[in-house]
Structure 1
């Protein structure tokens, strides 16, 4: 079975304003919802978004932001895992 991008959904998205790190909850077709860390979306000098890049190694700012967001991310993922 080949990957079908139309079946890949982003259910929830967070972005760190300081570092551009993006965390999403994704689901493929009817599969389990899962957390993805990255990409990183940085800003150009004119304030517009640059093309997404790999998250790469996380800075202390990234870690502190993730730590602060973890309960919200966990709660959202837990709610998505519960049977309807």
Structure 2
């Protein structure tokens, strides 16, 4: 069995919370089923540039409210990608 191949890992869609840096994305590995990923979190440096990505960790109320606001869009996009079962 072969190991992980980054060439097969595709990011299909991404949303970013500009306030908290939290990312939500839809990924697909090879011909597998598309799946939602929470995180990483990309925070800003004092100079305004992006820091290195870090784990999403625990979610604040701001994160939860943002996820709540976009969850229907994420669900619709994922449903379109997965197709009927």
- With structure 2 as the length reference, what TM-score do the two structures score? 0.95
- List 4+ stretches of structure 1 deviating above 6 A: none
Cα deviation for residue 2 of structure 1 reads 1.0
Query: Hey, what's the Cα distance between the residues in 2 that align with 1:33 and 1:51?
Result: 25
Is there any run of 5+ residues in structure 1 with no aligned partner, and where? none
- With structure 1 as the length reference, what TM-score do the two structures score? 0.96
Q: How does 1:4-83 map to 2 (within 5 A)?
A: 4-82=5-83
Query: Hey, what's the Cα distance between the residues in 2 that align with 1:4 and 1:70?
Result: 29
CA RMSD of aligned residues (A): 0.8
Is there any run of 5+ residues in structure 2 with no aligned partner, and where? none
